[in-house]
Amino acid sequence: MPCISDPASWPTVGNNNVELTAKVSDPDGYVSAKFEAWDHDSGQSVLSTWADTASGTWAHTTLSTAGLRDGGRYKWHVEAEDGVAVTGFGRDCGFNLDRTAPTKPTVTSADGHSIDVADLPPRVERKVRFQSSDAFGLTGFCYSLNKRLPVVNSGCGGTWVPAGPDGTATVTILPTLWPTNRLTVQATDKGGNLSPYDGSDGGANSSTTLITTAPNNYVHDATDPGLTGDRPGDLTGDGQPDLIAADTAGELQLYTGRGDGTYDAARMVGKPGWSAALVTHRGDFASQTPGQTRDDYEDYLVKLGSRLYLYPGNGMGTPQEDLRTELLHPSAGDWTAATQLVATGNIDGVLGDDLIVKEGDKLVLYSGTAARPLATETGTNKLKPGTVVSASGWSNYELLAPGDRAGFPVGDPMRF
Ligand SMILES: [Ca+2]
Ligand SMILES: [Ca+2]
Ligand SMILES: [Ca+2]
Ligand SMILES: [Ca+2]
């Protein structure tokens, strides 16, 4: 611990012991450092000890904080002795001892819009302010939106923001859910103590605030009669179809469509791990919200290795990796034979978006359901047997997902 004399800048320690250090020197080469520590308020001594060291090096000793007073202020100093002469004590240093957690953070709006009244729709950035208080001050807040914040002993399992001297921080969040988004916030003080949080979504120690949203804005036009969610192929909610692909580094890249056949520069929406992935999107097969089967945002069907996964989209172009579910092949052990996936939207005329898979030489249609997920055997993630729509002759053809490019005819998968 460095020697800090100004009480306003004293370090604060929590449950760890304190390592006191001092650089001491003596022309004779051998030196002993005498450490003393005491309770600043009562004057009671809590340490008096010697530590030998070579001249010019750091002497150190450990002060156990086990018997020290929570909320106490302590001081310490050092002098050097060589058995003949003493230097006299150097300046007094200090520290605070803090084992008391900061208060549970409050979350308030910082953008003039209410967070608990349906005011703004999802997919609009919001500014919110965190506030907590602590006797010795905060280092910051760890927060997570619509994802459980891991309960950890140290470090932040979510997003970290430092706290100002007033115990607040203002952050920008992007709620994507309707009607509620769960924002979990935990404060950390300078002693490393964490505000109450038990990992739950309710109860006294949930530390979760609901961010309420108004119904979504969907971009529709006269060509979309009856459409209820984002337009087919649109992953970002702007009404234009987008492209997505894994690159050679294994990152998943989103190319946002401009609507004129061109695309914005790639934006990474998946960290490395997508090497050789087959990715398709066109349709709503799942929801980000537990208990719902659809959310009107496009989702991602992905073949990774020999397995097929469904990733809910967040309406902003990012697949929700922590919410993915594996879809099992109805008969084969895995999806090794699948060489292409094409989400087609509703192609079989039966309510629900569908998936066509090129398996070897044939095309197989896996149908969706009125509730939106692909049809599965009851109580499992195993898809119901698909319909072979073409038994042979497809191994040398590439399927194109309709709508993947602006102006491309929408309809049956095409050979070319
Ligand atoms: Ca504290
Ligand atoms: Ca788009
Ligand atoms: Ca969805
Ligand atoms: Ca269908």
Same domain, 85 and 149: no
The whole-number pLDDT of residue 401 equals: 58
pLDDT-derived band of residue 141, with 50, 70 and 90 as boundaries? very high
Same domain, 382 and 250: yes
Q: Domain count of the chain? A: 3
Residue 219 lies in a domain: no
| Mean pLDDT value of segment 360-385 | 95
Q: How far away, in angstroms, is 324 Cα from ligand 3 center?
A: 11
Same domain, 86 and 162: no
- The parent domain of residue 203 ranges over 106-212
Residue 52 lies in a domain: yes
pLDDT-derived band of residue 398, with 50, 70 and 90 as boundaries? confident
**The domain that contains 178 carries what CATH number?**
2.60.40.10
| Mean pLDDT value of segment 44-55 | 93
Same domain, 125 and 46: no
The whole-number pLDDT of residue 87 equals: 85
> Which residues lie across from 20 on neighbouring strands?
61
Nearest ligand to the C-alpha atom of residue 195: 1
The whole-number pLDDT of residue 410 equals: 37
Percent of the chain scoring above 70 in pLDDT: 96
Residue 189 lies in a domain: yes
Strands 168-173 and 57-63 turn out to be unpaired
Same domain, 93 and 112: no
The whole-number pLDDT of residue 415 equals: 38
Structure tokens at 109: 């709006």
Q: How far away, in angstroms, is 291 Cα from ligand 3 center?
A: 12
Same domain, 250 and 318: yes
Helices (H), 204-342: none
| Mean pLDDT value of segment 271-282 | 94
Q: Give residue-wise pLDDT tens across range 170-183.
A: 999 999 999 999 99
Q: How far away, in angstroms, is 287 Cα from ligand 4 center?
A: 18
**Chain center to CA of 355:** 30
Nearest ligand to the C-alpha atom of residue 219: 2
Same domain, 267 and 314: yes
Last residue of a domain, one of 64, 97, 130: 97
Residue pair 169/89 in contact by the 8 Å Cβ criterion: no
Same domain, 39 and 155: no
The whole-number pLDDT of residue 343 equals: 95
391-400 contact pairs (CB < 8 A, 24+): 391/361, 391/362, 392/361, 392/362, 393/361, 394/358, 394/361, 394/362, 394/363, 395/339, 395/358, 395/360, 395/361, 398/340, 399/340, 399/342, 399/356, 399/358, 399/363, 400/342
Residue pair 374/285 in contact by the 8 Å Cβ criterion: yes
Residue 122 lies in a domain: yes
Residue 407 lies in a domain: no
Q: Give residue-wise pLDDT tens across range 78-130.
A: 999 887 788 889 999 999 999 999 999 999 999 999 999 999 999 999 999 99
Residue 413 lies in a domain: no
Same domain, 323 and 355: yes
The whole-number pLDDT of residue 403 equals: 46
Same domain, 257 and 383: yes
Poorest-confidence range of 289-293, 370-374, 383-387, 412-416? 412-416
Same domain, 187 and 63: no
Residue pair 123/313 in contact by the 8 Å Cβ criterion: no
